[in-house]
């Protein structure tokens, strides 16, 4: 079998010189069930390749690769700094407060099922509280960095909610490593490794980091992924890709 995303080859027997097929040394014509199996397997492979991208509208958990924790939020506000809803990282894979929905950048609507291209500007809305992942010029609480919070009401916020998806492929692949760069302040979404005490004991600090360390690398984890859809020419105005940013983030050195 070659590349499973494009070609699927099966060998069922050996053709004779006349074009007949032999199975186990006994002559037999091609059997109908064989064609059915091939069709089913091809459909399965095509479906798998279609679903390997992150799309607009998908609700997913984001895993920090270095610390193996999920990006998390909850209706607990910071006691200092902005006083906005806190954003942390947790080890618990089953915590339902770790789901984030992929949405278009501030002021736009991306098409449901539209694959997210590298370089796109997006928002990540916390599914439980409907506040957007946000950053601004407040100092992070446990380490040197920039505060990351959840901001807005019922998914309505401001341009401080916009993040650029930085990756090395054409689209954001579900199994690929990505970074999220805050558009306004140009810091990267990161986990510091510092741990909070009460009332969120055991949660790790999430911050904005100006350096592209391994703590700024994320992968998609559990979630509900919307099946990709085709985007025609009439919907180009709603696309979330900045072509210049896309070209820049294709450079492995940029990632």
- pTM of the complete model beyond 0.75: no
What is residue 222's predicted lDDT score, i.e. its pLDDT? 94
What is residue 176's predicted lDDT score, i.e. its pLDDT? 95
Q: Write down the residue that tokens 């954001």 correspond to.
A: 172
Distances (CA, A) of 111 to 45, 116, 121, 137, 164: 25, 10, 14, 31, 17
What is residue 50's predicted lDDT score, i.e. its pLDDT? 56
CA separation for the pair 103, 130 (Å, rounded): 12
CA separation for the pair 62, 72 (Å, rounded): 9
In the structure encoding, which two tokens stand for residue 31, read together? 């059997």
Residues 6+ apart with CB under 8 A from 245: 119, 120, 121, 164
Residue-by-residue pLDDT tens, the chain, 255 positions: 434 333 223 333 334 444 433 333 443 454 554 444 333 333 333 344 457 999 999 999 999 999 999 999 999 999 888 889 999 999 999 999 999 999 999 888 889 999 999 999 999 999 999 999 999 989 999 998 999 999 988 878 788 999 999 999 999 999 999 999 999 999 999 999 999 998 899 999 999 999 999 999 999 999 999 998 754 433 343 443 333 333 333 343 455
What is residue 1's predicted lDDT score, i.e. its pLDDT? 41
Q: Write down the residue that tokens 């946000």 correspond to.
A: 134
Q: What is the domain class of 54-249 according to CATH?
A: mainly beta
Q: Domain residues of the chain, as ranges?
A: 14-49, 54-249
Burial (0-12, 13-18, 19+ Cβ within 10 Å), 35: exposed
């Amino acid at each position: 079998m070659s590349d499973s995303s494009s070609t699927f080859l099966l060998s069922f027997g050996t053709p004779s010189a006349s074009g007949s097929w032999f199975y186990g040394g006994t002559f037999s014509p091609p059997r109908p069930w064989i064609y059915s199996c091939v069709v089913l397997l091809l459909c399965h492979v095509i479906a798998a390749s279609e679903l390997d991208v992150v799309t607009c509208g998908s609700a997913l958990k984001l895993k920090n690769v270095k610390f193996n924790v999920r990006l998390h939020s909850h209706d607990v506000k910071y006691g200092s700094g902005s006083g906005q809803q806190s954003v942390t990282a947790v080890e618990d894979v089953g915590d339902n407060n770790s789901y984030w929905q992929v949405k278009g950048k501030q002021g736009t609507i991306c098409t449901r099922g539209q694959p997210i291209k590298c370089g796109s500007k997006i928002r990540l809305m916390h599914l439980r509280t409907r506040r957007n992942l946000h950053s601004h010029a407040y100092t992070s609480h446990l380490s040197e960095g920039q505060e990351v919070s959840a901001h807005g009401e019922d998914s309505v916020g401001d341009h401080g909610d916009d993040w650029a998806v930085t990756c090395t492929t054409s689209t954001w692949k579900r199994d690929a490593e990505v970074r999220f760069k805050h558009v306004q302040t140009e810091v990267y979404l990161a986990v510091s490794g510092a741990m909070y005490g009460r009332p969120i004991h055991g949660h790790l600090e999430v911050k904005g980091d100006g350096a592209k360390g391994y703590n700024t690398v994320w992968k998609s984890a559990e979630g509900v992924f919307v099946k990709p859809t085709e985007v025609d020419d009439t919907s180009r105005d709603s696309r979330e890709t900045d072509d210049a940013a896309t070209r820049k983030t294709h450079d492995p050195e940029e990632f």
